[in-house]
Amino acid sequence: MLQVYLVRHGETQWNAERRIQGQSDSALTEKGEQQAQQVAERARALGITHIISSDLGRTRQTASIIAQACGCDVTLDARLRELDMGVLEQRHIDGLTEEEEGWRRQLVNGTPDGRIPDGESMVELSERMQSALNACLELPEGSRPLLVSHGMALGCLVSTILGLPAWAERRLRLRNCSLSRVDYQQSPWLASGWVVETAGDVSHLDAPALDEMQR
Ligand SMILES: O=C(O)[C@@H](CO)OP(=O)(O)O
């Protein structure tokens, strides 16, 4: 059975400052680098064979720390990028106008095709994330891949595997450098396809990052 590990990147400067990143980027903080080292140790013990990362800077930085520990290369895949948050990227969450906050809420309240102007919808995000995950099925037998991606992107992927709508992603708390695992199973009597083994595990971190609502 194929087991795929999912890691959110380490804490960044803008995570710590409560600024919206989306497909814009900021570097890992010192704490973010330490988190990456800690999840890298866990990945090494798990025997990861392939690391596939979103091509944004913060995930590449995290993936290269993990790759060093696991002794494998990193393949970049733009389908693993964070949701495109359009005109709100780089803004402080606390400085949004009521109208802007309304655009942001549309992503998670079930508005059909809800999106921030110039941005992407959660359904579009879930389709590209699902397609990046399905590409793991083409890896050689015995592979144990690890994907490095983002909070909303991974939340959306795991939610849709559970049969929840794409916009339910905020029901999952996926902290920086948390580890999730999804398995591909084929069984005549259980659900065939992807199943969620674990989501948001931070037991390898000495001090879990606060999530956006707690900072
Ligand atoms: O883009 C952002 O601001 C956050 C949202 O969760 O994503 P991440 O920090 O995981 O890239």
Ligand 1 geometric centre to CA of 122 (Å): 14
Instruction: Break the chain into its structural domains and give their ranges.
Output: 2-201
Beta-carbon contacts of 117 under 8 Å, excluding residues fewer than 6 positions away, are 86, 87, 103
What Å distances lie between residue 73 and 33, 50, 66, 158, CA to CA? 19, 7, 10, 25
Total-model pTM? 0.96
**Rounded (10°) CA dihedral 208, 94, 85, 205:** 0
Residue 204 appears among annotated catalytic residues: no
> Which listed residue (82, 89, 120, 169) is catalytic?
82
Ligand 1 geometric centre to CA of 10 (Å): 10
CA–CA distance, 170 with 156 (Å, rounded to integer): 8
Reported ipTM: the value is 0.96
Characterize the bridge pairing of strands 2-8 and 179-185: antiparallel
CA–CA distance, 95 with 18 (Å, rounded to integer): 10
Residue 50 appears among annotated catalytic residues: no
CA–CA distance, 56 with 53 (Å, rounded to integer): 8
Please count the other Cβ atoms lying within 10 Å of the Cβ belonging to residue 207.
10
Of 8, 20, 21, 90, best ligand 1 pocket probe by most atoms within 8 Å of the beta carbon:
21
Ligand 1 geometric centre to CA of 189 (Å): 37
Q: Of 3.40.50.1240, 3.40.50.300, 1.20.140.10, 3.30.70.1560, which CATH number belongs to 2-201?
A: 3.40.50.1240
The one-digit pLDDT tens for each residue of the chain (215 residues) are 899 999 999 999 999 999 999 999 999 999 999 999 999 999 999 999 999 999 999 999 999 999 999 999 999 999 999 999 999 999 999 999 999 999 999 998 989 899 999 999 999 999 999 999 999 999 999 999 999 999 999 999 999 999 999 988 778 899 999 999 999 998 877 778 999 999 999 999 998 777 665 65
**What ligand 1 atom has the least distance to the C-alpha of 85?**
1
CA–CA distance, 15 with 27 (Å, rounded to integer): 10
Q: Which residues line ligand 1 (CB under 6 A)?
A: 8, 15, 20-22, 82, 150-152
